[in-house]
Structure 1
Amino acid sequence: MTSSELPPERLHHGCDPEDFPFSTTEELEEIPLDLGQERARRALHFGIEVEREGFNVFALGPDGIGKHSTVQALLEERARMRPPPPDWVYVYDFDQPRRPRALKLPAGQGARFHKDMDQLIEDLRSALPAAFESEHYKRRTEELEEELKRRQAQAIKALGEEARMHGLMLIETPTGFVFAPMGENEEVLSPEEFNKLPEERQKAIEAAAGELNDRLREVLRQMPLWRKEMLEKVRQLNREIAEVAVNHLILELRQRYLEVPGLPEHLDRIRQDVIDNVPQFIQGETAPSLPLPLAPPDPYSRYRVNLLVSNEELEGAPVVYEDLPNHANLIGRSEYQAQMGTLVTDFTLIRPGALHRANGGYLLLDARKLLLQPYAWDLLKRTLKAGEIRIEPLEKTLSLISTVSLEPEPIPLDLKLVLLGDRLLYYLLCELDPEFADLFKVAADFEERIDRTPEQSRLYARLIGTLARRDGLRPLDREAVMRTIEHSARLAGDGKKLSTELRAIGDLLVEADHWAGAEDVSAIGARHVQRAITERERRLDRLRQQSLEQIERGVVIIDTAGERRGCINGLSVLELGGYAFGRPSRITATCRLGDGEVLDIERETELGGPIHSKGVFILSGFLSARYAASVPLSMSASLVFEQSYGGVEGDSASLAELCALISELSGCPIRQCLAVTGSVNQQGEVQPIGGVNEKIEGFFEVCRRRGLDGSHGVIIPTRNVDHLMLRREVVDAVAAGKFHIHAVDTVDQALELLTGQPAGAADEEGNFPPDTVNGRAQQRLLDFALIRQSFSAGKLLAAGQKEEQKGGNGDGTDGD
């Protein structure tokens, strides 16, 4: 074993059984699911407790780490310490029917008031008809009618008696009243008999008839007025009867809700409306039955109550999560009913939104879902800034319709809003939305990873037990807990850290419980956890298997034996659908005489990302500083990922690319049984990279399929050693001496492992020993510089001779 080779115990940071003094998780107490989230918890407590405008909370972090459950639990804990908020109802506005009034009642009284008003309507339905069908009412109306008839009869009778005095008789005909001449025996004279009367008598009768007709017309004109007076008396009687029927019902309610602002006045308006519109109720009770579209509106409907928000069953403040935060679900809506081909609505069809239900408490929203809904984000900001909930249809806001609709009275808004989202979304809103900072002043940043200490590991074991109990799973034995914690460290990509991705851990426990159930055992063991991990990889590793198959068949060329100049095995990671795997890639380098340019073929073909291009530029700077500090760098080189047909990003291959370049320069071949990963800086120091476990396992699998012979291995940065959480088969192969993992700090250490030759150290003048890798590379660059210098000198000499020839033959004469 070389000094750089890692022993097996450093390849997998396992758990110490002494840290877990229990048999199964049944023995462990439950803990909250926010393990390691102290920063986020403090921010949430602060944001919840500050009762100031704009101090809403944005909980940021990746999905699956328990943001929602943590925030929900904290909000519910805080909500239990607060009283339930008031109820809200909408009632009819008798002055402006299109603008329903909003009334606030103490918590629990909204439902009671709604029930009381329904009961009042039922009481009115029975009390009003009963009052108007009573003997007293009938007798009074009959008296008024008799009085009218008597007055009319008396007027007609008086007129008839006066007519008799003038020899006329008042006769009632089907078409009205007429005056006819009367004889001595009080019989009506015929025209012939009237003509036989003396002329003076005829004129007297005609004069009297004319005067009486005037009097008759006056009486007939008075009769409608007398009827109007009678009807007014009937209306007054109706009011008196209605007051008797209604007063005790409404006054009782009024007294019950006397302390509720606005409600006694509304009951007074109901009382007055009933009294003023008695005929509607009387006629409504006797109206014939008609089909629904043709039926007249129920006159009692305007007395109903729309119970918008009832907090009767709450023991504290509400905590509301809205899964679909669109325009209507946030601020509510007015529903419509189809009647005779048209859509109609009234105040009883107003429906609440999430802001109504959470008013006086806490509202929880997913920021991404909110931003995906048209105009919902602007609506929410406008509502928060206005401090009131105004129900307005989206089509009206956008001026898409101009029909008359309801305009409910706005309701004051008092809640704490918490948004859930990832970090990128939070930073984009901070940068691009100038109103965001005014409305969300508190950021609760959740951790993806926590330190893996013995104390934290024991708490994590309790967390695992809590998740198992929450999901109704079998308990885990100690070995299963240890394997789950090791897997958590693998998810975190660091042997010294644990992942807080509760969704992934919870899914793993569910799958392990399934395999434990298949064996009909009472507790989940380490083998069930391992099988769950293996089965999940098997479900997702189709692309990995295809990649390995192509390498095994030689379609993708990867050498794992022999030596090649300027050719090295680099390592990369592919992640698709939440599954990551490593695979080797052949990197080749070529060098030639040039002007110091290192050509990145990936960048030139627009397949390389900016970070990868940066790594290549760093290589150029390293080569110039190390080998050509005092002479021009007279080399042109090219680098490429062979058989790469997709994008290349990241600088984790820069160490491999540098070693391939130096190999090509020095002529020292590279052992193909080794693969390399790591980035490098301009000082030649090897820097850590990501995905180190997947990269090692990817090359190991290729070598395993071809047969491990003890020469194969991987070179990684020393700073990645703490991140190692390799699979057991890799660790076992290292322990058996069939596979090797080397950790290096510098390029020179990597070169010595790859070439088997000393790298060489520079003397005070910057020169390397000639029989070393660096010495050979330096010498070749010096040769390139001399060739370039001689080539340039030759070109200058040739150019000078050409100029001399032109000068000597300019005029064809000499000095003589």
Structure 2
Amino acid sequence: MLLKPAQLYHACNPDLLTFETTEELEHLSETIGQERVIESIRFGVDMPHSGYNLYVMGSNGLGRHTLVHESLIKQSMDTAVPLDWCYVANFQDPHKPTALGIPAGMGRLLSRDMEQLIDNLIKAIPAAFRGDEYQRQAREIQEDFSRRESAMVQRLGEEAERLDVKLMQGPSGFTLAAQKDGKILSQEEFKQLPEEEQARLGNSIETMKQALKESMSHVPEWQREMQQRFSQLNRETMQLTVTEFINELVQRYRDNSKISTYLEQAKQDIIENVDIFRQAGESNEKSFTAQDPEFTRYRVNVLVDNGDTQGAPVLFEDNPTYQNLLGRIEHQARFGALQTDFTLIKQGALHRANGGFLMLDAEKVLTNPFAWEGLKRALRSREIRIESLERQLSLISTISLEPETIPLDLKVVLIGSRSLFYLLKEYDPEFGLLFKVSADFAEQLPREHENELLYARLIATLQKREGIRAIQRDGVARIIEQLVRLSSNGDKISLRMSSLLELLLEADHRAGLRDSKQIERMDVEAAIQARRFRNNQYEEQLQEAILDGTLRIDTSGIQLAQINGLTYLQLGDHAFGAPTRISATARMGGGEFIDIERETKQGGPIHSKGVMILSSYIGQRYAKNQLLSVTASLVFEQTYGTIEGDSASAAELCALLSAMGDIPLKQSLAITGSVNQHGQMQAIGGVCQKIEGFFDICQARGLTREHGVIIPTANVKDLMLKQEIVEAAEAGLFKVYAVEHVEQAMELLTGLPAGVPDEEGLFPEGSINYLIQLRLAEWITLRLHYAGQSLDGEPRD
């Protein structure tokens, strides 16, 4: 069937678009065509039970991240703001910091209040110890000790006087000396005394030594008592001072039991560590503040601050490493060693998104070491445990922390491809338990008048959001037509938002170059052609190789068992078609079909399947009741890479039939399409690019009224050919044929009728099938001849 020019391009009728420019169109509140995804997201978010996290799947460029983020933002507005999370010192076990979950915004207040408290105490505590009351009580304690010591010395002195011994107190202690009549005797004077007197005085000195030793044994006890009294005084002074300052905080946070407990513990620890406050306040070298390392233990590490958050947090983590997801514990080098404390605990994405939603790229999570297992462990246990990878892998033995775990309550949304989703389902048993909701993005929108108008509103929404020029009605129509072409389905419009947005932005740029206030059809067309020009260098090189004869492609005359097939190539964002020569040979044999591509391992499995299908067609068509006495071979000429797909099976079949029947084929025609075992033509992909690739070669060589392409009828609806082909078809210079069966294609390629068999299964003379049938009969006769038999099975003389 020869297609009419109107069938080669399924244009969007601008008259059905009831507006002049996109400024008149109403803004879309939701992305069109993704109702299934929106419902899945709504279900996953509303489901309160564990395990109902989401996996959003679809191709790149569909706007997955944008749609999911917008949907979650809407859902989050109805959700309560989550808690702030802080880490504070555990004064009983410093290696296990305590986690505080407190109302949103309270974390920063508590941190400032504790900092102010320490600053106040650094000044107030030394002042309290310098106060009159403290000094009075300290003097009383010291005077009490001094009175005891003086009384002891006086008592010992009186006893020594009675025994004629002088008790003297010096810097190094007490000294005893003999005396007579109140005068201390020198050593010479002592020796001049009678022996009885010397003996008496010596005994007196020994007696006093024992008395002094016994009395002095009470001094350490008195000193300990004095020290205890001083400690008690210090404690009472600290208790009064700290209580005075901390009571305000206790009252402010009395409704939160966790903070109240922490403040009480901090109060006791401050009282126990009075010296660091006294030394800081009395230091003349520097002015101490709460930021100094001596007071680190009293800081508040605000891990998550939701004070400015509205609704539940919606977070996208672009680099989901293990530490970026679950947090980390940093270390500092001090005096040649690595040290850490609770203030060096850093948040991860799970902390920031806790109570809300966390969006992640599935592939990035899986390719970051330990991130996937860490994420699953957190979701499974419903808590965030910060553990360093170094300790897990036993790479370091540095003392680290074991922070208290934080309860986890959030929805994780993985965004990835369909293939990755099914791989995870198949090979990870935990995946299905943790991600029970899937949201599958639609790739295309049905092409209906209502949907075309809806798509125009989508274009208007993007135009206004990006702040670009208004688009005229004919420009919108051209954009829709281009997106239909990108879908490779004439009944669908592509929903690839990235391609649409790129086209809008470049069309706006083209309009700007013309100093136009609006985007017109010519601007859209210029953007399409400019993009093609930037990406089609390889396509041009391939066409040059064909035109200069390096790659042999005939576009005129007839050839035996040679045909122009059409290939489809995708290089990055650019897809194009090009003709390729397919040739076949046939000879007498035993029904063997040789696929040279498969034999040389250049053919893929789908291509090999196509060759097997066409060989089955030949067998059922021409050898139901007899031997298939043919050996044939097929090859793609001058190809040096892998051949895959079955879209050339129709061309291969035609080349084989030509070889079997010695029937020349027109080289001015090219063919694409796959066939089934009954010879029926089946739809293929890339039909527009394939037709355009052959057209470009024919046009370069000079179009005649013989040039054309044969395609399956099922692909007619997909045609969105470029304007040059439509114009050539209108002038009768290029033709596009649509066929249902391979025999219809053979009729076009040979100019002969296919032929219909009679009751005996014989085809009419001069038909394609007759010539093939005749050749097969000749080969059977020859085989029997060489085997020594006649046609009736009798031995030959």
TM-score class normalised by the smaller sequence: over 0.9
Partner of 1:217: 213
Report whether the alignment pairs 1:379 with 2:378.
no
Separation in 1, partners of 2:30, 2:604: 39
Separation in 1, partners of 2:324, 2:440: 28
Question: By how many angstroms is 1:127 displaced?
Answer: 1.4
1:276 to 251, 272, 276: 272
Structure 1 stretches of 4+ moved >6 Å: none
Separation in 1, partners of 2:205, 2:757: 150
Comparing 228-237 with 135-144, greater Cα deviation is found at 135-144
- The one-character-per-residue Cα deviations of 1:427-460 (angstroms, maximum 9, x if unpaired) are 1111111111111111100011110111111111
Structure 1's unaligned 5+ residue stretches are: 802-816
Question: By how many angstroms is 1:475 displaced?
Answer: 1.3
Separation in 2, partners of 1:754, 1:549: 26
Question: By how many angstroms is 1:788 displaced?
Answer: 1.2
1:492 to 487, 490, 514: 487
1:99 to 90, 96, 101: 96
Question: By how many angstroms is 1:287 displaced?
Answer: 4.3
Contact 1:33-1:463 within 8 A present in 2 as well: no
Partner of 1:811: none
Partner of 1:525: 520
Q: Secondary structure at the match of 1:262?
A: helix
Partner of 1:45: 42
Report whether the alignment pairs 1:427 with 2:422.
yes
Contact 1:760-1:775 within 8 A present in 2 as well: yes
1:127 to 115, 119, 124: 124
Q: Secondary structure at the match of 1:321?
A: strand
Q: For the structure 1 residues 260 and 765, does the alpha-carbon distance in structure 2 shift closer, same or farther, using more than 3 Å as the test?
A: farther
Comparing 87-96 with 390-399, greater Cα deviation is found at 390-399
Question: By how many angstroms is 1:576 displaced?
Answer: 0.6
Partner of 2:599: 604
Question: By how many angstroms is 1:595 displaced?
Answer: 1.1
Separation in 1, partners of 2:150, 2:733: 131
Report whether the alignment pairs 1:764 with 2:764.
no
Question: By how many angstroms is 1:494 displaced?
Answer: 1.4
- The one-character-per-residue Cα deviations of 1:81-100 (angstroms, maximum 9, x if unpaired) are 01100111000001110110
Separation in 2, partners of 1:693, 1:159: 123
Separation in 2, partners of 1:270, 1:764: 106
Q: Secondary structure at the match of 1:554?
A: coil
1:356 to 351, 359, 365: 351
- The one-character-per-residue Cα deviations of 1:676-725 (angstroms, maximum 9, x if unpaired) are 00000011100000000000000000000000111100000000011111
Report whether the alignment pairs 1:542 with 2:537.
yes
2:744 to 744, 749, 753: 749
Partner of 2:69: 72
Q: For the structure 1 residues 134 and 617, does the alpha-carbon distance in structure 2 shift closer, same or farther, using more than 3 Å as the test?
A: same
Q: Secondary structure at the match of 1:324?
A: coil
Q: In angstroms, what is the RMSD of aligned CA positions?
A: 1.8
Alignment of 1:254-269 (within 5 A): 254-269=250-265
Question: By how many angstroms is 1:285 displaced?
Answer: 2.8
Q: For the structure 1 residues 291 and 568, does the alpha-carbon distance in structure 2 shift closer, same or farther, using more than 3 Å as the test?
A: farther
Task: Return the TM-score normalized by structure 2.
Answer: 0.97
Contact 1:634-1:785 within 8 A present in 2 as well: yes
Separation in 2, partners of 1:238, 1:51: 55
Separation in 1, partners of 2:742, 2:282: 102
Contact 1:118-1:304 within 8 A present in 2 as well: yes
1:172 to 147, 169, 175: 169
Separation in 1, partners of 2:687, 2:389: 52
Partner of 1:197: 193
Partner of 2:202: 206
Partner of 2:237: 241
Report whether the alignment pairs 1:793 with 2:761.
no
Letter in 2 for 1:549: E
Separation in 1, partners of 2:465, 2:179: 111
Q: For the structure 1 residues 744 and 649, does the alpha-carbon distance in structure 2 shift closer, same or farther, using more than 3 Å as the test?
A: same
Partner of 2:468: 473
Q: Secondary structure at the match of 1:300?
A: helix
Partner of 1:448: 443
Q: Secondary structure at the match of 1:479?
A: helix
Q: Secondary structure at the match of 1:559?
A: coil
Contact 2:338-2:398 within 8 A present in 1 as well: no
Separation in 2, partners of 1:22, 1:258: 64
Q: Secondary structure at the match of 1:737?
A: coil
1:315 to 287, 301, 310: 310
Comparing 715-724 with 765-774, greater Cα deviation is found at 765-774
Q: Secondary structure at the match of 1:381?
A: helix
Separation in 2, partners of 1:788, 1:288: 118
Partner of 2:56: 59
Alignment of 1:563-602 (within 5 A): 563-602=558-597
Separation in 2, partners of 1:314, 1:463: 30
Letter in 1 for 2:166: M
Separation in 1, partners of 2:89, 2:686: 66
Separation in 2, partners of 1:157, 1:51: 85
Report whether the alignment pairs 1:16 with 2:13.
yes
Q: Secondary structure at the match of 1:584?
A: strand
Contact 1:56-1:416 within 8 A present in 2 as well: yes
Partner of 2:412: 417
Structure 2's unaligned 5+ residue stretches are: none
| Number of corresponding residues | 791
Partner of 1:809: none
- The one-character-per-residue Cα deviations of 1:747-795 (angstroms, maximum 9, x if unpaired) are 1110100000001112233322232101111111121122112212269
Alignment of 1:499-510 (within 5 A): 499-510=494-505
Contact 2:122-2:280 within 8 A present in 1 as well: no
Partner of 1:512: 507
- The one-character-per-residue Cα deviations of 1:406-430 (angstroms, maximum 9, x if unpaired) are 1111101000010000111111111
Letter in 1 for 2:125: L
Q: Secondary structure at the match of 1:430?
A: helix
Partner of 2:147: 150
